[in-house]
Chains A and B, each alone.
Chain A
């Protein structure tokens, strides 16, 4: 009985894992004299064969429905991506315009004396030629984001 158990484990293994040629020969030799193990092998083979005899049919429009859902999700994700990029660009532009304005103002202040400008002129210059254009650029990016959302 103990021997049969060992052979049945080997039979199971021969269907599921790799067994050596020697082990295969061992099974072959054993089942010639052992009806119990021979039947066990036949039933195992029959079970596995039976498992392969199931045919599941998908719903007729299943693939088309999945493709449609995926196309919809792809478009939604693309739009989210575009909006995210626009908002990120706006945030970067806004912070650069604040930091840049502070730097430009400091440089302009240094040039006040050699260029014979007064402070009010420097402030007006920075405002008109730097601060306003940079804010306008940032707002333009924001408008692009809003436009994309409108299209969505």
Chain B
């Protein structure tokens, strides 16, 4: 009964070890394969984080260059995607810090996260990506939702990262991570409550 999960687990370990070795050796074939597999998800994550398409594409390129330069730091003991997202997040925060020099002081345990509290006022890329009526209703809310909550929702419900993996990406304790998810969910749920009551 337990043979299948064991096999899957072993395969996963081999896969991450292979990635770690390839990154250490700067194996171009492996890097091309990783780009093929993760670029789409990386751009999506950065889009949720920054709320701007052009930032997301630029930052994704920067992230891959960082992966190439610091590939030897990936130990292959955990999944590759949380490690990749953590790099992308640090780059995005530094980038936004440069872009928005005057940020209102917000009391957060981690000052770096203050960069992500300000919602973007730019045109919504979420509306363009909405593929259902419900998604369209959420799109407007997502655009004004603080990116800190937006990224938590993405990592949990689209990337399906575990809370521990999310904590690794966000550099925050799991209690903080869950609290951000609940707050994000509450804000989005309001889109339906509001819409339904308006609709009668």
The answer to whether A and B belong to the same complex is: yes
Question: Which one, A16, A56, A59, A67, contacts B47 given CB within 8 A?
Answer: A56
Q: Once the chains bind, are B26 and A74 in contact (CB under 8 Å)?
A: yes
Closest-CB distance, B61 to chain A (whole angstroms): 6
What is the CA–CA distance of A17 and B188 in the complex, to the nearest angstrom?
Answer: 19
Instruction: Say yes or no: A56-B28 contact (C-beta < 8 A), given A50-B132, A74-B68.
Output: no
Interface 9-residue window, one of A24-32, A41-49, A94-102, A136-144:
A41-49
B100 to nearest A CB, angstroms?
24
- Pair B185/A58 contact, Cβ less than 8 Å: no
A73 near B68: Cβ-Cβ < 8 Å: yes
Tell me which residues across on chain B come within 8 A of A73, comparing CB atoms. Answer: 65, 68-69
CB distance from B157 to the nearest CB of A (A): 5
Segment of B5-13, B75-83, B91-99, B123-131 in the binding face: B123-131
How long is the Cα–Cα vector from A90 to B153 in the complex, in angstroms?
55
Q: A17-B178, A44-B185, A66-B61 are in contact. Are A56 and B39 (CB under 8 A)?
A: no
Known: A44-B185, A51-B153, A74-B68. A66 touches B134 (CB 8 A): no
The bracket for how many chain B residues form the interface is 35 or more
Dominant SS among interface residues on chain B: helix
- B68 and A44 form a contact (CB under 8 A): no
**Contact between chains at A67 and B185 (CB < 8 Å):** no
Task: List residues of B (132-171) whose CB comes within 8 Å of A's CBs.
Answer: 132, 134-135, 137-139, 153-154, 156-158, 163
**A54–B129 touching, CB < 8 Å:** yes
Contact indicator A51/B61 (Cβ below 8 Å): no
Are the CB atoms of B126 and A51 closer together than 8 Å?
no
For B64, the chain A residues whose CB sits under 8 A away are 66, 69-70
Smallest CB separation, A19 vs chain B (Å)? 13
List the B side residues contacting A53 at CB < 8 Å: 130-132, 134-135
* Number of A-B pairs, beta carbon distance below 8 Å: 106
Contact with A along B28-51 (1 / 0, CB 8 A): 100110011001100110010000
Q: Which of B173-196 contact A (CB under 8 A)?
A: 178, 181-182, 185, 188-189, 191-193
Let me know if A70 and B65 touch, CB within 8 A: yes
Contact of B138 with A51 in the complex, beta carbons under 8 Å:
yes
Task: Annotate A65-94 by CB proximity to B: 1 below 8 A, 0 otherwise.
Answer: 111011101100110000000000000000
Q: How far is the CA of A73 from the CA of B43 in the complex (A)?
A: 20
Binding site for B on A (CB under 8 A): 12, 15-17, 40, 43-44, 46-59, 62-63, 65-67, 69-71, 73-74, 77-78
22 examples of A-B residue contacts, CB within 8 angstroms: A17-B178, A40-B189, A46-B192, A47-B138, A47-B191, A51-B135, A51-B158, A51-B188, A53-B132, A53-B134, A54-B139, A54-B158, A56-B40, A56-B43, A62-B39, A63-B39, A66-B39, A67-B32, A67-B35, A74-B26, A77-B69, A78-B26
Query: Apart from A47-B188, A63-B35, what 13 extra A-B contacts exist at CB < 8 Å?
Result: A44-B185, A47-B138, A48-B157, A55-B129, A55-B131, A58-B39, A62-B57, A63-B36, A63-B39, A66-B64, A67-B35, A69-B61, A73-B68
